[in-house]
Structure 1
Amino acid sequence: MKRKSITILIALFSLCCSYTASGAIDSMDVLSYQKPDLQKQVDSILKITDSKEYDLAIEMASSLINEAEKRNENGFLFHGYNLLSITYDQLQDSVPAFDYAKKALHFAKLSKNDTLIAWGYNNLAASLSEYPETRDQALTYYKESLQIQRRLNDGEFLDAALNIAELYRDEKNFTMMYPYLREAQKSYDEDCFYYDDPLVYLNILWGDYYKGLDFPDRALVYYSKAYDLTEEKKMDYLALDFYSGFADFLTKYGKPKQALKVYKRYIFYFKNKEQVKNQETFQLAQAHMEAEELRRARNDAELKQQILDQDLQRKKTQSVLLGSIIGLMVLFLAYLFYSERLRLGLIKNLKLNNRHLKKAKDRAEKSERSKTKFFSTLSHEMRTPLYGVTGIISILEKKDAFAEYKDEIGSLKFSADHLLDIINDLLDISKLEDDNFELIKKPFNVKLLVEELVSSFQQNSLKNSNCKIICDVDSSVPNYVVGDSRRISQILLNILGNAVKFTPKGTIAIRLRSKILSSGKYKIQFEIEDNGIGIPKEKHESIFDEFSQLDDLQSDNKGTGLGLPIVRKLLNKMGSDIELKSEPGQGSIFTFTIEFAEATLLQVIGKREAKKSEGDSELTNLKDLRILIVDDNKINRLVTRRVLENQNAIIFEAQNGEEALERTRKHHYDMIMMDINMPGMNGYETTKAIRVFDKSTPIIALTAAEASYVKQKVKESGMNDVITKPYNLKKFSDVIAKEIKGRNQITG
């Protein structure tokens, strides 16, 4: 029972429903004024539809569409398709009714006429509302139509509001039904002529509304008004939908006489419909046949026109294509020419860049070699005099005559050790940049290592300080792990040393936590926290740069700036990195994590036995052993001589390789201490010459160079071992003991 928007006779329309929004003339008046012949066709189709001459209405609507297409009149194309939709709707043929409603909306949008667009949405929604599955879409279109009608506010009846109310009625949603009924009621104008009087629909829906709310008396009032209007206007198509339900309502609420009257009128309309059924069926068939013929005729004309258009378009396309091909060929040739020149230029630049890169590579390699040589030379040149200093200090501190100078000698020894640490840091920086650098992985007790480090700091660095160190090792940390304990110690020493420098008084805490990974390894987290002066955030990265120092921090002991760069490089070698959290005045927290495999029982036992073996190795009595010291530096010879004489050895000296070679040819020695860097014949050359005639005498290299740089050459030249100057007395004695013991086993 949906009410579709239908174009009315233009004369009556202009009397009561003029489009006054924004002072504009109604769209239909404009159409009527501009195209009176097309408007007359619209009016004629309305009369013919009203008289149920459907076949003629379809024919005239098709004619209207043809004429409107020729003139490109989108507004009248809307009317043509809209009238076809309404006609097929009255013929109860829903499929073409729906298709034509869609086309009508399409041309309404092209016309950009808001009134026609509102009608188009309303009529398409009316077709969609017939099917439950498309009612949601219908509701959307109704609301689009209503929104446009509200904006226009042109006095036209709001069909969309009426139809929305009916949709909610069908869903028995009477609450939502009410506001739309009220809005539709307000838009009704009693003085306006309507082709399909909406007042009948309004009264029926008001009756349905009050019936749904169980107010039968009020519902009866509206149903009665609708009945009278239907009879008055002879709306037989509406009577068949309305009267049957009205008669049932009257019967239910005790109005049998009125119900009988209404039912008789229903029978009358029903019989009348049956009488004209054959005629309508014939008309419908004829209308369908003529419509199909008209469609075929239109399609033939359109096909011919399309063929002509396609032929013309093909020729145009061929011309455009040919021109495009020629243009593309010209562009392609130009591109080839440009590409070739560009390619030659790129090749030239590439060759030039390759030459520059090769030079840069050579410079970098040369610089790296120079750097390595520099560090090696620096090590030797600094360690050589330092050897004399530390050696003489070691001799003096054991002399009773210098007992009163114990503190001074201690300070001197401390300064020499500090200088040695700086040299070692420089060498470490150099070694860590070498790809051949390797970590030594052995089992060690990580808890004991940390505790010993803390104890060492408390006994030495913090002896006269107001700072203290707290050690907190979680029980989750395993005792023995496999790793490079020396490098772990170096990392912790540098971080703790840094914390001590910048924590004049307060507390430093070293914490260890761990968790076991799915691989079976332990991920141990090391955290060193201090409540010292802190580090500004903008300096967090720069402190890990080589030779970087925080000049703006209030500390007298800033160091060389190598400690933390070494820490980061070592951690990177271990697949880790260091994190820093710090703010000025809030202290600092250094954190890093390392993955360790837990040491097995066999590994731990093996380590203990090795330690025990090392501990048991005692210095063999050097009494009456003949030892030759070969060194071009008089002070170094003096230091080494004093150390060995303290062990009751018989010492002989040679100040260069030639003298050493001559002495070994003439005399027997139990051991030779050989300096490497000497003028003339160096230590390697001298050893090779000695090995020609003496294969057994132990020869120990004494060098100020880093041991890792010379070990391979030492072995190749025939030397037995190497001692780095300045040496640790225990290590010095251990090496001599090992070589003497080995010699005795061979000779024994």
Structure 2
Amino acid sequence: MLVGNIFAVFSNVYSSSEGLYPIFQENSLQQDLDAIYKYRDEKKYDVAIERLSDLIIESKRLNEYDYTFHGYNMLSVIYHEINDTVPSLAYAKSALEFAKLSKNDTLISWGYNNLAASLSTNPNTRKQALEYYKNSLEIQQELNSGVFLDAALNIAELYGKEENFVMMYPYLKKATESYDHSFNYHNDPLIYLNISWGDYYKALDIKAKALEYYAEAFKLIERDNMTPLALEFYERYAAYLNENNYSDKAFNVQQQYLKHYKIREKTLEKETVKLALARAETEELRRQRNEAEMQQQLLDQDLRRKKIQFILLGSILALLSLFLAYLFYSEKLRLGLINNLKRNNKNLLKAKNLAEKSERAKSKFFSTLSHEMRTPLYGVTGIISLLEKRSEFDAFKEEIGSLKFSADHLLDIINDLLDLSKLEDESFSLINKRFNIQLLAEDLVSSFDQNSLKSSECTLVCEIDSSVPEFVIGDARRVSQVLLNILGNAIKFTPKGKIVLRMRGEELEENKFKIYFEVQDDGIGIPRELQESIFDEFSQLEELQKTEAVSESKGTGLGLPIVKKLLQKMDSQITLKSSVGKGSTFLFDINFEKDLNPNSQQERTTKPSSLGISNLKGLRCLIVDDNKINRLVTKRVLENLGVITFEAQNGEEALERAKKHYFDFILMDINMPGMNGYETTQAIRIFDKLIPIIALTAAEATFIKKAAQHSGMNDIVTKPYNVDDLSSVISKHVQIRNLITSC
């Protein structure tokens, strides 16, 4: 019983009894295929075969391989129905080849199934048939399209022929479960299911079940007038009925067998069918011959091409010999260059690592140096400030002023070193906030007092164009730092004349605003050959500073390099125009974000509010510092503010005092032997969550801010500090503590 070859063609193609083919688009090939199915159903094999030959030729010409598949597949079915298995097998193989060319998984599944059906008739090829059936079933299950699993039924039948009924049952059950009783199949698979279940129960010697399924299959075959299946099934069905003493039923089945046999013989006796079969075979042979001739022509062309290639190859080999000799020489030379390159790369990598190590050491050195210098400098500046305010030292005011000026200059040098170190750190970032850029420029110009200009007879002017907005969003501190350094440099090299800061604006797209800055002076100017070097670190124009009129203060040579690096962080570049004796002009521009809330008000920068505390008089403070001079300076500063002070020279002593006494706030040093400031703060926070603890340190605040917050400190003040700033910070946190405790 060749279930697959008959069933797969129709059950998967037809969707209803009306003969529609929704899998394909309507075209001339589809119309031909529809007609062929109709002729085949009407047993008009001669017409169907002729039309199939035309379909195969036309579909090959158009590369419509799905229709070529159906053509060969139908030929395989027809030859099987007339019991000619050799061409049936050949056409089934051709059908599978074109199914694969179509890259249609459904057609490939049918191709495997139908080829396996042809192979299953021969016991020697059943193993191959089983493999193809399983390939078909695997594709059907992956598609999960809801169609009947005919491959599972065929596998069950094949195991039945091998009398392996243990393996037959699961596949037969799987096929039965895929059958949809509501679907109108063209070639009803229920017939094949009944026959297979009958075979299964017959093998198990459950006669009642076997006869029940066989009887249902017989009824359905007669209903659908399926002559090929009747000829294959009725003889063994009649024999089984006779074995079980149902001779009347067996006689009836035998009579129906003879009827179907006569129908097939009558069909095959037609000359037109024989001629059609002959023509089909002849046409297929002609197609194969044409393909062979084409292959031969291709081989001849290939031979001629190979002769030409052989001649060319000889020429190429001669050239290749010369080339190989040259290549050998080049390769030897290249290997020498590669070895040199490797050595150079190794040396460069070593130099790079050394440079990075040196850069890290420099940054660490600057940071350590700034801290170590700020600590004693805090004592110097603090004592100077105290001496300034004592009347008994009025006679030494000039000396104290000079001392203060020197201390401030030293602090500027330290700050420059630290700024340069931070700018080379990848963690550096800009802090963009809303600020009044016009007010910032005016305040900077006015901040250069007589002390700054006393050594030169120059004036400072600020010219702001109306195109400059009042408020922008950017890093005001860094913009101020850039302008301060450029203006300070202009003052140093302008003995007399005029220094002008000019600003103009340009509105850009996407909420951006560009402001152009220009600082022009009437100073001594800079020679062209020295103009690039002034932006190098520690560079000083000693030739120019030999001029007596120039300020004696040489500085560190870090101001303009800091300007250059800051502007690079802001995606900007500084340019210089200068002529000796005519002055210099520094130009740069910065992109700011637009202020999207122009109606908001902002006053001139004021000191932080004291949050309601008018002074610090009467407050109790614990000063924690391992440096005796620092404690003395801080104590004198606070006592001048009316604060009652207490001292602790290390963390352990501070912890004991905080446990036993009440303090309004604590000023905590960070670097102390034993318990450092962070550890001491964490220990105090265990029993006192609210007391304000303010770090008073010579280290740069940005390096310790996160650690201070994590330990529980409220704020940071960097030494040397401004007394008003210190007072404001203390007032703010004391007031916050008072507000919390009063709630």
- Using the size of structure 2 for normalisation, the TM-score is 0.54
Corresponding residue for 2:587? 591
Corresponding position of 2:478: 487
| Alignment correspondent of 2:679 | 685
- Counterparts of 1:595-744 in structure 2, within 5 Å, are 595-601=591-597, 604-605=600-601, 607-608=602-603, 614-615=608-609, 617=611, 619=613, 621-744=615-738
Among residues 506, 530, 533, which one is paired with 1:542 in the alignment?
533
> In structure 1, how many angstroms separate the alpha carbons of the residues matched to 2:617 and 2:574?
53
What does residue 367 of structure 2 align with?
A: 376
Q: 1:340 to 1:634 in 2, by over 3 A?
A: same
**SS of match in other structure, 1:644:** helix
Aligned to 1:461: 452
SS of the residue corresponding to residue 692 of structure 1 reads helix
Matched with 1:444 is: 435
Separation in 2, partners of 1:517, 1:611: 28
Q: Partner of 2:376 in structure 1?
A: 385
Aligned CA distance change for structure 1 residues 481 and 617 (closer, same or farther; 3 Å): same
| Corresponding residue number in structure 2 for 1:406 | 397
The answer to whether the 8 Å contact 2:456/2:491 transfers is no
Measured in 2, the distance between the counterparts of 1:732 and 1:355 equals 54
The 8 Å contact of residues 423 and 565 in structure 2, kept in 1 or not, is answered as yes
Q: Which residue of 2 aligns with 1:394?
A: 385
Call closer, same or farther: CA 1:357–1:604 in 2, change over 3 Å: farther
User: 1:620·1:740 contact (CA, 8 Å) conserved in 2?
Assistant: no
Of 455, 458, 477, which aligns to 2:468?
477
Unaligned runs of 5+ in 2: 1-304
Q: How many Å apart are 1:462 and its aligned residue?
A: 1.9
Q: Is the 8 A contact 1:578 1:591 kept in 2?
A: yes
Contact 1:633 1:655 in 2 (8 A): yes
In structure 2, C-alpha distance between the alignment counterparts of 1:492 and 1:727, rounded to whole Å: 23
Partners of 2:657 and 2:562 in 1: how far apart?
Answer: 45
Assess, with a 3 A threshold, how the Cα gap between structure 1 residues 460 and 598 changes in structure 2: closer, same or farther. Answer: farther
The 1:359–1:687 alpha-carbon spacing in structure 2 relative to 1, beyond 3 Å, is farther
- Secondary structure at 2:568 match in 1: helix
Contact 2:609 2:728 in 1 (8 A): no
Contact kept? 1:383, 1:704, Cα under 8 Å: yes
Query: Distance between the aligned counterparts of 1:579 and 1:541, measured in 2?
Result: 10
Q: Is the 8 A contact 2:619 2:643 kept in 1?
A: yes
Give the aligned residue type for 1:710.
I
What's the CA shift string for 1:362-402, capped at 9, x where partnerless?
43443233222211111111111111111112222222333
Counterpart-to-counterpart distance in 2, 1:619 and 1:407: 36
Q: Deviations over 1:158-188 (max 9, x none)?
A: xxxxxxxxxxxxxxxxxxxxxxxxxxxxxxx
Please give the per-residue CA displacement for 1:652-695, whole angstroms capped at 9, x wherever unaligned. Answer: 11112232233334433332211111223222222233333433
CA distance in 2, matches of 1:349, 1:666: 73
Mapped partners of 1:350, 1:373: distance in 2: 34
Q: Structure 1 pair 688/603, CA: closer, same or farther in 2 (3 Å)?
A: farther
> Which of residues 490, 495, 501 in structure 2 aligns to 1:510?
501
| SS of match in other structure, 1:557 | coil
Post-superposition offset of 1:418: 1.6
- RMSD, matched Cα: 3.2
Q: CA–CA distance in 1 between the matches of 2:612 and 2:313?
A: 102
Q: Does 1:575 align with 2:571?
A: yes
Match of 1:171 in 2: none
SS at match of 2:589: strand
Counterpart Cα distance in 2 of 1:615 and 1:699: 19
- The one-letter code matched in structure 1 to 2:739 is Q
Q: How far 1:572 sits from its partner (Å)?
A: 1.1
Q: Distance in 2 between matches of 1:522 and 1:362?
A: 41
CA offsets, 1:259-283, max 9 Å, x none? Answer: xxxxxxxxxxxxxxxxxxxxxxxxx
Structure 2: how far apart are the matches of 1:483 and 1:439? 8
How far the C-alpha of 1:338 sits from its partner, in A, is: 7.1
Q: For 1:491-502, what aligned pairs fall within 5 Å after superposition?
A: 491-502=482-493
Letter in structure 1 aligned against 2:504:
R
Question: What is the CA distance between 1:726 and its match in structure 2?
Answer: 0.4
DSSP-derived class of the 1:614 partner: coil
Q: Are the counterparts in 2 of residues 388 and 639 from structure 1 also a CA contact under 8 Å?
A: yes
Q: Counterparts of 2:447 and 2:605 in 1: how far apart (Å)?
A: 21
1:560 corresponds to = 556
Please tell me whether the aligned partners of residues 512 and 527 of structure 1 are also in contact (alpha carbons under 8 angstroms): yes
SS at match of 2:453: coil
Corresponding residue of 2:288: none
Aligned 8 A contact 1:619 1:734 in 2: no
Contact 1:454 1:471 in 2 (8 A): yes
Q: Distance in 1 between matches of 2:631 and 2:621?
A: 12
| Structure 2 counterpart of 1:418, one-letter code | H
Q: Which amino acid aligns with 1:571?
A: L
Relative to 1, partners in 2 of residues 1:637 and 1:375: Cα closer, same or farther, differing over 3 Å? same
- Which residue does 1:367 correspond to in 2? 358
Work out whether residues 443 and 604 of structure 1, in 8 Å CA contact, stay in contact via their aligned partners in 2. Answer: no
- Shift in Å at residue 604 of structure 1? 3.8
Q: Secondary structure at the match of 2:452?
A: coil
With normalisation by structure 1, the TM-score equals 0.53
Structure 1 residues 414-425: aligned runs within 5 Å: 414-425=405-416
3-state DSSP class of the match of 1:487? helix
In the aligned structure 1, how far is the partner of 2:341 from the partner of 2:612?
A: 67
Change (3 A) 1:351 1:322: closer
Instruction: Give matches, 1:333-372, under 5 Å.
Output: 356=347, 359-372=350-363
Alignment CA distance shift 1:629-1:616 (3 Å)? closer
The aligned runs of 1:102-117 (5 Å cut-off) are none
CA shift in 2, pair 1:369/1:576, >3 Å: same
State how many pairs are aligned.
433
Per the alignment, residue 125 of structure 1 pairs with: none
Residue by residue over 1:108-136, the C-alpha shift from the partner in whole angstroms, topping out at 9 and shown as x without a partner, is xxxxxxxxxxxxxxxxxxxxxxxxxxxxx
Structure 1 residue 562 displacement after superposition? 0.7
After superposition, the Cα gap between the structure-2 partners of 1:331 and 1:678, relative to the gap in structure 1 and judged at 3 Å, is: farther
Residues 15-164 of structure 1 mapped to structure 2, 5 A cutoff:
none
Query: Cα gap change, 1:687/1:319 in structure 2, threshold over 3 Å: closer, same or farther?
Result: closer
Q: Secondary structure at the match of 1:546?
A: coil
CA distance in 1, matches of 2:367, 2:661: 34
Q: Is the 8 A contact 2:612 2:735 kept in 1?
A: no
Q: Give SS of 2:680's match.
A: helix
Contact 1:627–1:669, Cα closer than 8 Å, also in 2: yes
Q: Which amino acid aligns with 1:673?
A: L
Counterpart of 1:191?
A: none
C-alpha separation in 1, matches of 2:347 and 2:537? 28
Do 1:620 and 1:741's aligned partners in 2 also have CA atoms closer than 8 Å?
Answer: no
Residues 494/621 of structure 1: CA separation in 2 closer, same or farther (3 Å cut): closer
> Per-residue deviation at 1:337?
6.6
SS for the counterpart of 1:379 is helix
Q: What's the secondary structure of 2:543's corresponding residue?
A: coil
Question: Does the 8 Å contact 2:471/2:598 carry over to 1?
Answer: no
CA contact (8 A) 2:610 2:731 kept: no
2:425 counterpart letter in structure 1: D
